[in-house]
Amino acid sequence: MFEAAYANDNRKLQRLIRDALEHPQDLPRGMTEGMSVGRQSGQLNWGVVVQSISSDEWTEGKQRPSVAVFVRDTTGRPDPPVKLAQQLFELTPAETSLAIQLANGLSLDEAAQALSIRLNTARAHLRSIFSKTGVRRQTELVRLFLNSVAWLGSH
C-alpha cells in the first residue's frame, strides 16, 4: 500500500492511483496526474506524479491495470553524476561542473565562486560549453541540462 502521511494528501493520492487504474483508456499515452505531498518533518513537499501504464507494455500481456508512481524529493539541489553529464555533452570536468552549477540556479559569478575559479575562467568555460552544446544563452543551457537524462543517473 502506498500512502501519504496526511489524510487530505492520502485521499488525493489514492484517488489519482484509483483513477489511473480504473480508467487507463481515458488517459492519453503520456498523460500524467500530479500533486504535492506534505511531509511531517516540515521540509518542502514531495512532488508526486501518477501515470497509467499500458497493460501490454509492462505486464507481459497479463492484462492487469498498472500505474507508475514517481516521487521527487524537492529539498536540496539536484546534482547529476559529473561523469555522466560529461559523457552526454562531451564536456571537460571543469565545464561540466560549471554547467551543473548554472543548472542549479547559480549566476555565473556565484558558480565561479562556488567552484573557486576566476570569473574570466568561468566565462571561457561557458563559451566552450556553448560551442560544444550548440546553445547561445545560459537559459538555453539550463534547459538543455535539466531536460537531459543526466539527472537520472545514480551517484
Domains of the chain and any CATH numbers: 7-73 (no CATH), 82-152 (1.10.10.10)
**Residue 130 clears pLDDT 70, i.e. is over it:** yes
Q: What nine digits make up the cell of 154?
A: 545514480
* Nine cell digits for residue 82: 559529473
**What predicted TM-score, i.e. pTM, was given to this entire model?**
0.58
pLDDT tens digit sequence for 78-121: 666 788 888 888 999 999 999 989 988 899 999 999 999 999 99
CA 87, CA 101: separation in Å to the nearest integer? 17
Closest CA to 96 of 50, 153, 22: 153
Indicate if the pLDDT at residue 57 is higher than 60: no
Q: Please state, in angstroms and as integers, the Cα–Cα distance from residue 71 to each residue in 4, 8, 59, 81, 145, following that order.
A: 11, 18, 21, 19, 20
